[in-house]
C-alpha cells in the first residue's frame, strides 16, 4: 500500500525466500545494528535471502546494515547487507535506492560491506538513482571487501537514473 514502512533492528534483519515489504509512493527504510554501540555476535546485518523489498513510484528505499563481530556459526561471514538467492531491492521512478553496508568488526574471514550474489539477485530502480556504498570490516586476511557482485548478481539503475557504487576495502 501507500505510506511508509520502517524496520529498525538492534541486531539483524533476516528475510527468507518469498517474503517481501512493498510500498507505492512511500518510503521504505530498513536498518540493522546501527545504534551507537553495535551489538556483539555472529550475524549478517541485513540478510535478504530470496526476499524482495520494493518501492514503486516516487518512494525511496533506504537500507543500512552493519554485520556482527563474531567468528562463529555463519563461518565468520559478517556482511553488512547481503542480497542473495534471487533477492531484490527495487526503487521506483523517480524514487531512489540508497543502500549502505558495513562489514562487522570480526577478525575472521569475510566481512563484506555489501554482497550481491547469484542469478536473479539485484539492486535496481525503474528510473531513479541507485547508490550503493560498502565498507569492509577489519579482517586478518584479504576479504574485507567493500562491495562485491558475484555469480550473476546485478546492480543497475533503470531509465535515466544515475548509478553510483562505492566500495572501501580493508585487511591485509
Entry pTM = 0.93
Q: How far is CA 1 from CA 4, 91, 95, in A?
A: 9, 15, 16
Instruction: Output the pLDDT for position 77.
Output: 81
On the question of pLDDT at 139 being above 80, the answer is no
Helix (H, G, I), strand (E, B) or coil at 84: strand
Model confidence over 9-39: pLDDT tens digits? 999 999 999 999 999 998 999 999 999 998 9
What is d(CA 132, CA 150) in angstroms, rounded to the nearest whole number? 15
The dihedral over CA atoms of 126, 13, 28, 114, expressed in degrees to the nearest 10, equals -40
On the question of pLDDT at 107 being above 80, the answer is no
Give the list of residues 6+ apart from residue 162 with CB closer than 8 angstroms, or none.
Answer: 129, 130
Amino acid at each position: 500500500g501507500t505510506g511508509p514502512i520502517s524496520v529498525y533492528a538492534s541486531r539483524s534483519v533476516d528475510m527468507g525466500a518469498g517474503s517481501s515489504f512493498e510500498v507505492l509512493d512511500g518510503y521504505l527504510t530498513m536498518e540493522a545494528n546501527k545504534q551507537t554501540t553495535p551489538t556483539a555476535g555472529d550475524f549478517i546485518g541485513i540478510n535478504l535471502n530470496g526476499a524482495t523489498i520494493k518501492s514503486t513510484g516516487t518512494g525511496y528505499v533506504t537500507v543500512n546494515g552493519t554485520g556482527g563481530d563474531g567468528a562463529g556459526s555463519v563461518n565468520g561471514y559478517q556482511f553488512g547487507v547481503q542480497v542473495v538467492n534471487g533477492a531484490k531491492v527495487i526503487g521506483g521512478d523517480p524514487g531512489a535506492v540508497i543502500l549502505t553496508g558495513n562489514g562487522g568488526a570480526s577478525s575472521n574471514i569475510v566481512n563484506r560491506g555489501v554482497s550481491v550474489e547469484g542469478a536473479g539477485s539485484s539492486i535496481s530502480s525503474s528510473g531513479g538513482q541507485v547508490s550503493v556504498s560498502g565498507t569492509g570490516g577489519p579482517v586478518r586476511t584479504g576479504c574485507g571487501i567493500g562491495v562485491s557482485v558475484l555469480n550473476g548478481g546485478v546492480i543497475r539503475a533503470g531509465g535515466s537514473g544515475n548509478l553510483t557504487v562505492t566500495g572501501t576495502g580493508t585487511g591485509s
